[in-house]
Structure 1
Amino acid sequence: MSSPQSPSPQAAPFLQQAPGGAPYPGYTSPIPVKRTHLGHAVASEWTKIRSVRSTMWTLGVYVLLVVGIGLVTALLVAANASDGSLDGENPLSMGFFGLLLGSMCVITLGVLTTASEYGTGMIRTTTVACPSRGRVLAAKSIVFFAVAFLVTLVSTFLVAVVDTAVLTDAREPSGSEWLKATVGVSLYLALLGLVSLAIGSVIRHSAGAITIMIGVLLAPLVIALFMFSESLQDLREALFEYSIPSQLGIFYSSSLTDSGPSGWDPLWIALGTTAVVLGFAFFLLEKRDV
């Protein structure tokens, strides 16, 4: 006697999408479907950068260096200055030393904005949520540039105001000097960080990218110091003039050399360099696997 057979499961009906995109004919989803755009990616990247602890620590150290060293330098100069020794001195130039050290924090944060996701594997989740890789990198660049610029602007403006009040014997800075020492230098540091972000996207390794950027920051100046040969004189001067510390000094009218870039030239150089490096990062991003 044969055992009773269980009824065979019915095959699921074939689902056809309706012309309106609904899975069933005549069905309309109550959830609105919106086309994604760059604004959504920017909102996502803003959530990321403000929610990780590394951002708060890096920016905290950055502000501490820029403001702390800038104010301490002005106080030491004022305490040890004799009568008339500050005549003709630009009080805003005291902010240079804090920014020079703080630039390493901007470099670090720029690299971590992109490279850290490759180290943790989070980049896979990011590209699933936003398959357009160019849009992701553009959103990261916009968010980072805005954060770096605003934090630097607030810090440099605070240092400039306090240093001007402390160094009462120094001359009164002009309007153009105020603009260069606040807005100009903030744009320059933000662009430097954007180059770091692009290098992080290209290298995809945090430690390696940070090492490369610190080398770009310090190596030209250090190498130039050891070029004693007369045949290398032109190269030595070029390394001095176009090194990042020297270009930072131009925003405070205290360049390390008497020739080379001047005025707003460092900002245009940084803008051109950023465009080239970031463009290469976009190109490479579309050619490589995640």
Structure 2
Amino acid sequence: MTIDLFPDLRAPLARMTNDAVDALVTQYGALFETISTAILSVLLVVEHGLRAVPPVVLIAAVGAIAFYASRKPFFSVAAALGMWLIGALGMWDQAMQTLAIILVAVAISVVIGMPLGIAAASSAAVRRILMPLLDLMQTIPSFVYLIPAAMLFGLGKVPAILATVVYAAPPLIRLTDLGIREVDYAVVEASRAFGATRWQILSGVQIPLSLPAIMQGINQTTMLALSMVVIASMIGARGVGETVLLGLQRNDSGMGLVGGLTIVVLAVVIDRITQAYGQRLQRHRKAGA
């Protein structure tokens, strides 16, 4: 006699999931279409803007931003050379597509993540609810995020951006929460004693003093967004990730290396600029303490 140790949960779970997705698409299809159109419109503006700028101008702009963030001439030149190397590899256009996706995804993450981080820092109840959700978002493999995004929004850049936001936003939420909670309580109380409102304390004291932590969160979010580039290309996000994916599919090591090197250069340039600016803010904060 054979004992059936495992009940059949696969079929009911799959059926429930499909029914739920069908119901969402049927009832809220217009809403999803509106969201998709809005995100795609912003993305196209950013992407066309980046691709329209002459490479020499953008390379100079990256060097200027690097100098503003670090105040180090050598770092400024190195960042500009990194962008020049992307063009020399023949990946400039693809890099601009990828950069547009990252900028839009990070912007959405900031718009969503900072208020949630502030809410978590202000309310213990909100924090108790958010933390397990963030743990879940950071534990689930990144590829899994593409499935519901593709189901609800189809294939293309919009579901790739939304999946990237879900994957990349948790560090920003956590570090915003941490930064605000670490603001000196005496400073907050002094502001309250001078008659500052709750909004004035938040905008004039807590957020400015927690900017180094918030910048670190933005840095981590940007790096996670960049790590989704290749995975997002599987649902039509294009850009540098598509080059890497094609290299893998065609067993073309050279193409894969060029795409991978482009991603590495982008990651290093963005990471060093955001980290340098965060460290600069940290030094200013310590100097003013």
Whether the TM-score (by the shorter chain) exceeds 0.5 is no
Larger Rg computed on CA atoms = 1
The normalised TM-score by structure 1 is 0.31
The normalised TM-score by structure 2 is 0.31
Higher helix share: 2
